[in-house]
């Protein structure tokens, strides 16, 4: 794709846009500002809810809101241009209950986003860290019934890396017609409606505006980014990405997320063509 056809840059957050210290570096910030100045849309695509994603632009010191936010791995879409949120398929209560029963053999901590809180089976170090990064309080449930008292976009299970691999393999061998299991971090498995993906929300976004998927460059690092990378004009996996994501990507960055991987790619493949330097 020619640089003048680029309309949207869409980025995953963890292990992609920010470094291991959860910082947005000055070079990456400058990249986003330059895209904004040139009229190229910028968006985030994450497993986090939209209300959390909306805090990033002011937190990182931008004087403008990001154009698009894909939250809950595609179940939520915030269109800042139209000031509109679109919510899509959620897990039914009986599905969540079934998932909890299927997950009992695997040591883990189940939790959901609900009413501005992290609703979890228990508090541990990983949950405390999630509460800090999400800026959400933790509510510890009295029983698992609280996790399926209403429909939800997803349910998550924090566990060891070894257990994550086992769960991934277990559900790969036992596909469900209604929901899917997928890895979003090396220690996190999520379940969502089978129809939901970051690509699903991206297609809605493009349909609502004057550009096609071919005009999108997307960046990601792991399994829940795969569909987004596959449908984009350019799907770029981070050097530090998982092997399955590297396998489906159009390109792989030369630098990892701790060395401005996204910004360095954009410099070489976009800004160099314009004679600009980050």
The CA-CA-CA angle for residues 111, 115, 10, to 5°, reads: 75
pLDDT for the residue 3: 56
Total-model pTM: 0.88
pLDDT tens for the 278 residues of the chain, in order: 555 699 999 999 999 999 999 999 999 999 999 999 999 999 999 999 999 999 999 999 999 999 999 999 999 999 999 999 999 999 999 999 999 999 999 999 999 999 999 999 999 999 999 999 888 999 999 999 999 999 999 999 999 999 999 999 999 999 999 999 998 888 999 999 999 999 999 999 999 998 999 999 999 999 999 999 999 999 999 999 999 999 999 999 999 999 999 999 999 999 999 999 99
Structural domains of the chain ordered from first start: 3-88+199-274 (3.40.50.1000), 93-193 (3.30.1240.10)
The residues with which 68 forms a beta bridge, in sequence order, are 43, 79
Residue 76 contacts residue 70 (beta carbons within 8 Å): yes
Residue 46 contacts residue 71 (beta carbons within 8 Å): yes
pLDDT for the residue 210: 85
pLDDT for the residue 185: 87
Sequence-distant (6+) residues with CB within 8 A of 141 are 119, 120, 121, 147
pLDDT for the residue 100: 98
Give the Cα separation of 127 and 138 in Å (integer). Answer: 8
User: Structure tokens of 186?
Assistant: 């090396």
pLDDT for the residue 133: 86
Give the Cα separation of 107 and 161 in Å (integer). Answer: 11
**Rg of the chain in Å (alpha carbons):** 18
Give the Cα separation of 186 and 143 in Å (integer). Answer: 27
């Amino acid at each position: 794709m020619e640089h003048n056809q680029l309309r949207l840059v869409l980025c995953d957050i963890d292990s992609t846009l920010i470094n291991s210290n959860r910082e947005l570096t000055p070079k990456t910030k400058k990249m986003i500002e330059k895209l904004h100045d040139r009229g190229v849309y910028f968006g985030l695509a994450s497993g986090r809810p939209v209300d959390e994603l909306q805090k990033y632009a002011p937190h990182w010191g931008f004087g403008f809101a990001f154009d698009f936010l894909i939250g809950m791995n595609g179940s939520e879409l915030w269109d800042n241009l139209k000031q509109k949120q679109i919510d899509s398929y959620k897990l039914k209560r009986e599905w969540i209950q079934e998932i909890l029963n299927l997950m009992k053999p695997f040591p883990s901590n189940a939790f959901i986003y609900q009413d501005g809180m992290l609703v979890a089976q228990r508090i541990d170090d990983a949950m405390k860290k999630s509460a800090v990064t999400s800026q959400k309080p933790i509510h510890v449930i009295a029983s698992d019934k609280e996790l399926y008292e209403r429909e939800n976009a997803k349910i998550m299970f924090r566990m060891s890396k070894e257990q994550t691999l086992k769960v991934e393999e277990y559900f790969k061998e036992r596909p469900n017609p209604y929901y899917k299991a997928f890895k979003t971090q090396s220690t996190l498995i999520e379940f969502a409606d089978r129809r939901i993906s970051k690509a699903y929300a991206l297609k809605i976004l493009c349909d609502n505006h004057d550009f096609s998927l071919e005009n999108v460059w997307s960046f990601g690092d792991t399994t829940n980014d795969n569909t987004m990378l596959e449908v984009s004009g350019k799907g770029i996996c981070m050097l530090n990405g998982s092997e399955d994501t590297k396998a489906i990507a159009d390109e792989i960055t030369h630098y990892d997320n701790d060395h401005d991987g996204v910004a360095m790619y954009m410099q070489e493949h976009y800004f160099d063509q314009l004679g600009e330097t980050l």
